[in-house]
Structure 1
Amino acid sequence: MYQIGCNAVAIACYFAAESKFGTVVTAAALPAIVACNSALGTCPTGCAALLILPIP
């Protein structure tokens, strides 16, 4: 469920940067695309932390 949310945000980020998700393969990507990829990399980590935290 969380992965779907993270990917949906990444797709919206790419759309805002006027690119298509999964099509940018160059190291010279736009800074906005680099930011999208960075956010996508950290989002699942944050979600995973929520899954292992004890519920009070």
Structure 2
Amino acid sequence: MCQIGCNTVAIACYFAAKSKFGTVVAAAALPAIVACNSALGTRPAGCAALLILPIP
């Protein structure tokens, strides 16, 4: 569920930047798309941490 949430936010971010998720070449990305990608890169790391932390 966490990954779905992360990707949903990324798709919304791309939509707000008037782009389509998965179709932008990194070298030609607008600053808004670079920001979307940066945010998407940090979110799954947080999700992974939730998976490996022990549950009390």
TM range (shorter): 0.7 to 0.9
Aligned to 1:18: 18
Normalised TM-score (structure 1)? 0.87
Number of paired residues? 56
Query: Structure 2 unaligned runs (5+)?
Result: none
Identity of aligned residues (%): 89
Which structure shows the higher helix fraction?
Answer: 2
Shift of 1:12: 0.3
Q: Give the distance between the partners of 2:3 and 2:40, measured in 1 at CA.
A: 9
Aligned to 1:31: 31
Query: Structure 1 unaligned runs (5+)?
Result: none
Q: Is 1:53 aligned to residue 53 of structure 2?
A: yes
Shift of 1:41: 1.0
Query: CA-to-partner distance for each residue in 1:16-39, whole Å, 9 max, x for gaps?
Result: 111000110140310000010111
Aligned to 2:40: 40
Normalised TM-score (structure 2)? 0.87
Q: Which structure 1 residue ranges, 4+ long, deviate > 6 Å from structure 2?
A: none
